[in-house]
Copies of this chain bind each other. A is one copy, B any other.
Amino acid sequence: MARQAQTSTAILGALSIGPLTGYEIRQAITSVLGHFWHESFGQIYPCLAELAADGLVETTPGDRPKSSRYQITAAGRERLRALLAEPPVPQAPRNGVLLRTFFGDAMAPDDLGRMLTSVTAESQARLHSYAAIRSSMTEEPGYAEHGRYWEATLRAGELAAQAQLTWATETTAALVPER
């Protein structure tokens, strides 16, 4: 998958649901895709300019002066479909928690315990936030058409967080001396 293609996919995808400003795209990616995707402004604005130059998005005419929204074009939808068809780019794994666990013998026992405690807390926090999303999701605009797909990604988050919680609990019991 080519240069910038990943960012383009996220942006075109966001715009396929409705027109947004660059700022709103960032917000949408952070709040909605946040548990499995990330983009910074430094990526979004240049990419958006490129997409506009290629005729894949266009600015809506009216609106307030500084805040014209970007809208996906027919060519943009076609490109999005093509991008989605490409195999996902695998992310090189860099799991700091497992790296530390693997070399746990070289760690101070307290440090290992602290780390596992925070993993536990983080997993539980994620499970809670997913529960909140699940109960509010049905009222989001676009739920009728897209909801089944949103639910699938949410389910992935729940399963991953649950697995992480199980691991942290088991591992604390196995490796952290009590008191």
Q: CB within 8 Å of B: which residues of A?
A: 6, 9-10, 13, 16, 33-38, 77, 80-81, 84-85, 87-108, 111, 115, 118, 145-146, 148-150, 152-153, 155-156, 159-160, 162-164, 166-167, 170-171, 174-175
Give the residues in chain B near A115, CB-CB below 8 Å: 87-88
State the number of copies, please.
2
Give 15 new A-B contacts, CB below 8 A, not counting A37-B95, A81-B108: A16-B106, A33-B98, A36-B93, A36-B95, A37-B94, A80-B103, A81-B106, A81-B107, A84-B100, A84-B103, A88-B97, A91-B95, A101-B149, A103-B149, A104-B148
Q: Are B37 and A152 in contact (CB-based, < 8 A)? A: no
> Given the known A-B contacts A38-B94, A163-B160, are A13 and B103 also in contact in the complex, defined by CB atoms under 8 Å?
yes
Q: Name the distance in Å between A158's Cβ and chain B's nearest Cβ.
A: 9
Contacts of A80 in B (CB 8 A): 103, 106
Secondary structure at the A interface, as helix, strand, loop or mixed, is helix
B103 contacts A16, C-beta separation under 8 Å: yes
A101 touches B37 (CB 8 A): no
**Nearest CB in chain B to that of A14: its residue:** B103
User: Residue of B at shortest CB range from A77?
Assistant: B106
The smallest C-beta distance from A97 to any residue of chain B, in angstroms, reads 5
